[in-house]
Chains A and B, each alone.
Chain A
């Protein structure tokens, strides 16, 4: 198998594994389809925006949950809500699913539950970031070798 075919195989297999392991869903595939020669870095740009957004929102949630005088659960919920929205739009299923549980704990004003969800969401975000960075690296290698992802 020549190098381009090998790299292509690697990219396809890795992409498929992200779906099988539930890291991303069809919405992510839709993003990849939106990318074209006029916007060749679209997926990377959206992913970067998402990661920045994640970090900011996770920090907001952590700060709000740290308040010893009394947690403002509405504030926590607002951040979780936004994270749920953007994770859903990028196809980040596992992050989105944690957000769904997280919102229930906010509604119940359950600080312990919220802290557990915060830990989970931080974990899922890190995992996803690694996975996508690997995917993008594989894509770059493939393109550099003269292949294409379509």
Chain B
């Protein structure tokens, strides 16, 4: 699932300020959005589009784990915490156990410190409260550029 080098993006998309510098790097990044809420999935997908990224979206942790198990690789995974079938904490643990070293960013609407800590301990790189904003995405992409 990793895009080949030289894959082009549509530069006619309206880009957020300062994103132009990241575009040439962004074209090669693959993103997975894991969230059971269709509103959030659409919102995160749109935010990512603004940075020239298109994301694969799935509804729960199990689907995410299965995708990776069958060979899909992603540079970035946006992982919701509360999901049916398999939640974000469990999915993150499984992905790390499988050797997945994508940047995994937790996204949660619970603001209790204890919950965030447990989520981080499962293997997240960062954890943010919903909703993701352009600033947070910008930060995440900077970290992604550093990592790759």
**Using a CB–CB distance below 8 Å, which chain A residues touch chain B?**
27, 30-31, 34, 36-39, 42, 45-46, 49-50, 52-53, 78, 81-82, 84-86, 88-90
CA of A34 to CA of B13 in the docked complex: distance in angstroms?
A: 11
Tell whether, in the assembled complex, residue B13 and residue A85 are in contact, meaning their CB atoms are under 8 Å apart: no
A-B contact pairs, 12 of them (CB 8 A): A31-B43, A34-B43, A36-B14, A42-B46, A46-B39, A53-B38, A53-B39, A78-B82, A81-B110, A82-B36, A85-B40, A89-B37
Q: Which residue of A lies closest to B50 (CB)?
A: A34
Contact B109 A46 (CB under 8 A): no
The CA-CA distance from A78 to B83 in the complex, in Å, is 10
Chain B interface bracket (under 10, 10 to 19, 20 to 34, 35 or more): 20 to 34
In whole angstroms, what is the CA distance A37 to B12 when docked? 10
- The residues of A that contact B82 with a CB separation of less than 8 Å are 78, 81-82, 85
Q: Which residues of B contact A86 (CB under 8 A)?
A: 37, 39-40
Interface string of B31-43 (1 = CB under 8 A from A): 0000011111011
Instruction: Give the CA-CA distance A53 to B36 in the complex, in Å.
Output: 11
Q: Which residue of A lies closest to B134 (CB)?
A: A30
Complex alpha-carbon distance, A15 and B9, angstroms: 34
Known: A36-B14, A81-B82. A88 touches B109 (CB 8 A): yes
Question: Nearest Cβ distance between residue A36 and chain B, in whole angstroms?
Answer: 4
- The answer on a CB contact under 8 Å between B130 and A89 is yes
Asked if A38 contacts B130 (CB within 8 A), the reply is no
Check A53/B37 contact, CB under 8 A, given A34-B46, A88-B130.
Answer: yes
Nearest 8 A-B pairs (CB), nearest first?
Answer: A89-B131, A85-B109, A86-B39, A36-B14, A49-B38, A49-B39, A50-B39, A86-B37
Q: For A49, what are the chain B residues with a Cβ–Cβ distance below 8 Å? A: 38-39, 42
CB distance from A53 to the nearest CB of B (A): 6
New A-B contacts (20) at CB < 8 Å, excluding given A38-B14, A39-B46, A89-B130: A30-B134, A31-B43, A34-B50, A36-B14, A37-B14, A38-B49, A45-B42, A46-B43, A49-B39, A49-B42, A81-B82, A81-B110, A82-B36, A82-B37, A85-B37, A85-B40, A86-B40, A89-B37, A89-B43, A90-B43
Name the A residues within 8 Å of B43 (CB-CB). Answer: 31, 34, 46, 89-90
**Do A89 and B50 form a contact, CB below 8 Å, given A36-B14, A81-B82?**
no
**8 A Cβ contacts from B33-73 to A:** 36-40, 42-43, 46-47, 49-50
